[in-house]
Amino acid sequence: MKMKKFEDLNKGDQIKADLYSRPNAMNGKYRTGQIFELDNLAEIKDNDIFLLETLKVRADSADKIIAEAEAQGKDTSDINIMKELGEKINALGKPIHRSESIMTAIMNTIQLMITYGIVAGVWGLVFKKSFLVFGLYGAIAGLLISLLFVAPVVAFQRTKERIKDISFGAGSMLVTPAIYIGIVGLESV
């Protein structure tokens, strides 16, 4: 069987080769620490580049945390110590597939469009204009704000925890004030 050169592998295979060849993967520390996804790379498809890149970042963090523990004199060949380190590494967040982050970005966009549409529609009633026309303008404004500021940030997050944090922040900054503006409009009607 002819061996391929590293340069001839596709990007996914290159990342997997890097992950498999790391000392902590070869000596079983990733598996012992039960680090998300790093303990079983065989199940990950070679074409899922986003997840593989996320796992590469996870492996870098794991290697750093394991090296720090060893520098402090901890015996990382001890199963209990590796499980403790694995919990610390896993606390960084669970890696996700790109489709999950994109779906969350779409849901955030829809939420902004609906909120801004309703708020603008209410103000259309305040000014004795069409609820639907003002609502359409509000929905377009929500779409533009989301496409410029929210969706790109959410779509490129690599862990569920980061997506939740970004979505909460976007909701707090962009949805909550719009709701208050809508309430003021309702009181004016």
pLDDT tens readout for residues 142-167:
999 999 999 999 998 888 888 999 99
96 SS3 class: coil
Contact 35, 46 (CB under 8 A): no
* Per-residue pLDDT reduced to its tens digit, 70-106: 999 999 888 898 989 888 888 887 777 788 889 999 9
Q: Is the pLDDT of residue 1 over 70?
A: no
Cα distance between residue 61 and residue 54, in whole Å: 11
* Per-residue pLDDT reduced to its tens digit, 113-151: 999 999 999 999 999 999 999 999 999 999 999 999 999
Range scoring the smallest mean pLDDT among 10-14, 63-67, 116-120: 10-14
**∠161-165-166 over CA atoms, to 5°?**
120
Q: Is the pLDDT of residue 179 over 60?
A: yes
Q: Is the pLDDT of residue 11 over 80?
A: yes
Would you state the structure tokens that stand for residue 30, as one six-digit string? Answer: 């990733």
95 SS3 class: strand
- Cα dihedral across residues 76, 79, 85, 89: positive or negative: positive
